[in-house]
Amino acid sequence: MKSSVIVFPGSNCDRDIKVALEKMQFKNQMIWHKETKLPKSDLIVLPGGFSYGDYLRSGAIAGKSLIIDEVIKAANDGCLVLGICNGFQILTETGLLKGTLLRNKNLKFINKDVQIRVMNNESKFLNKYKKDQVLKINIAHNEGNFFTSKNHLEELKKENLIAFKYCDEKANITEGSNPNGSLENIAGIYNSKKNILGMMPHPERMIDKVISNTDGVNLFSSLLN
């Protein structure tokens, strides 16, 4: 499977995702944001980090960069697109995903391992997980507070497009387990065709027992499935 990771000035999880993809046997290429052509890819990843120093709004400037037109075209043609953390913010700024990520409710940068529950595993991204499975995955963000319009929230629920919700260790979705104030504890969403996934947690940080755990591995093996 061929993957392309888009690199912006200020991306800082681009190497992590590269290591994860290559460990899982993806044929990966790193693509600088000034490129105007995207190599043929089965998966495009927008990595985490602080593209353009979060100037204006997180992801706003990266969302208008040269390569993004190609990403939008590929996404509309059905290519798989994964946005992690800043990548999720960029996806909302391009309009590929609806909604937005506001500043964390407690105004603090949060870097910790949290529990998330797999809400809908029927996708190219999550088919190796079980529905309602609880994963322990790292989050590291200042703007992860998911917000969207009432209509979009209804659409997300009706069409089952919520991929992950923050939860406690027993899979209960509670206010106490919501780290950043996200609407209804939402941690990740799909677009209506489910070829795009945006998520705040970092699965690429959870692929090695030595440094964390392996709860992120199945996201990559799902894609290869």
Q: How many CB atoms are closer than 10 A to CB 163?
A: 25
Among the listed residues 1, 24, 30, 60, the single contact to another protein using CB under 8 A: 60
Give the separation between CA 113 and CA 185, rounded to whole angstroms.
Answer: 15
101: three-class secondary structure by DSSP: strand
Residue 85 annotated in active site: yes
Q: Can you tell me which of 147, 168, 171, 208 binds another protein, judged by CB under 8 A?
A: 147
The answer to whether 175 contacts another protein (rule: CB under 8 A) is: no
Q: Is 102 in the site for another protein (CB under 8 A)?
A: yes
Q: How many residues bind another protein (CB under 8 A)?
A: 18
Asked if 152 is an active-site residue, the reply is no
Q: Is the distance from CB of 100 to CB of 143 less than 8 angstroms?
A: no
The Cα 189–Cα 199 span in angstroms is 7
Number of Cβ atoms within 10 Å of the Cβ of 10: 15
The single residue among 12, 15, 42, 57 that binds another protein, judged by CB under 8 A, is 57
3-state class of 69 per DSSP? helix
154 binds another protein (CB under 8 A): no
Catalytic, out of 70, 93, 143, 204: 204
214 binds another protein (CB under 8 A): no
Active site annotation includes 70? no
Nearer to another protein, 4 or 104 (CB): 104
**β-bridge partners, 112:** 139
Name the β-bridge partners of 160: none
Residues present in the chain in total:
225
**Interacting residues toward another protein by CB under 8 A:** 56-57, 60, 64, 93, 98-100, 102-107, 147-149, 181
Q: Looking at the annotation, which residues are catalytic?
A: 85, 202, 204
